[in-house]
Structure 1
């Protein structure tokens, strides 16, 4: 069995052990014995994962903002607001860890909006949701502004 076959086998058997082995080889500058194909896959996957996480967290944030703004279920407000705070915090952490994701905010927002709107519309078919986000959709306001307090009454309906 060749060394490459051993690496492939290690990758398939134990990704954590493969990762540690790869890091050790990189630190030692032992480039000749790296499992390059899987290393490329993992690095590409990391970028894809970050982009998907941005969209996924935006979907959850937008769903809960829409529910808090337009669904008149006061007993649910605290739970929705808690989820909003959690997603905002996680988005801040993600954007701090990968600042280049900020350049993908607008595209990600558009994708997330379509999915969030579709989801809440199915969940609450009797509620009329706006077809476009009605506030500032840039990063800072989305992560900080409690829009239900700013432009809506306490019950979430337009004042």
Structure 2
């Protein structure tokens, strides 16, 4: 049996073992036996995973920014600000690890804002939130400014 075909079956049968075999083959420069299709699928999946994580963290960040700016609930301010700090830290880490995600961040901001807006409008139905982000939407500002201090 062709070992490449065997690696493809291993990929479906035992992912961890497939990873170990693939790493071993790469270290040994044994390229002819690599499961190229499996490698392509995994590398594409890594990029999608990081994009998905960025979108999810941005949604949480924007939702908490909206709450902190527009919801008058001082007893919750500290918790919201802690969440804002953590999401900013994690987003900055993603951008530091993969600077090519920065254009993607700008690309998805409108979609992410709509998702965050939908969440906070559901949670705080008596609070008026703007239909569009009215403050500085630059990624640097988004990851650093305390917008609520400007109100």
**TM-score class normalised by the smaller sequence:** over 0.9
Q: Which piece of structure 1 moves more, 56-65 or 101-110?
A: 101-110
Q: Which runs of 5+ in 2 are unaligned?
A: none
Q: Which runs of 5+ in 1 are unaligned?
A: 153-159
Q: Cα offset for 1:22?
A: 1.2
Tell me the SS of whatever aligns to 1:99: coil
Tell me the alpha carbon deviations over residues 29-65 of structure 1, each in whole angstroms, 9 at most, x when there is no partner: 2111111111111011111111111111100000000
Which whole-Å CA distance do the structure 2 matches of 1:97 and 1:23 have between them? 22
Paired residues of 2:62 and 2:116 also in contact (CA < 8 A): yes
Q: 4+ residue runs of structure 1 moved beyond 6 angstroms?
A: none
Paired residues of 2:5 and 2:35 also in contact (CA < 8 A): no
Paired residues of 1:54 and 1:108 also in contact (CA < 8 A): no
Which whole-Å CA distance do the structure 2 matches of 1:30 and 1:4 have between them? 11
Which whole-Å CA distance do the structure 2 matches of 1:97 and 1:24 have between them? 25
Q: TM-score, length-normalised on structure 1?
A: 0.88
Query: Which residue does the alignment assign to 2:58?
Result: 58
State how many pairs are aligned: 151
Superposed CA RMSD: 1.4
Q: TM-score, length-normalised on structure 2?
A: 0.93
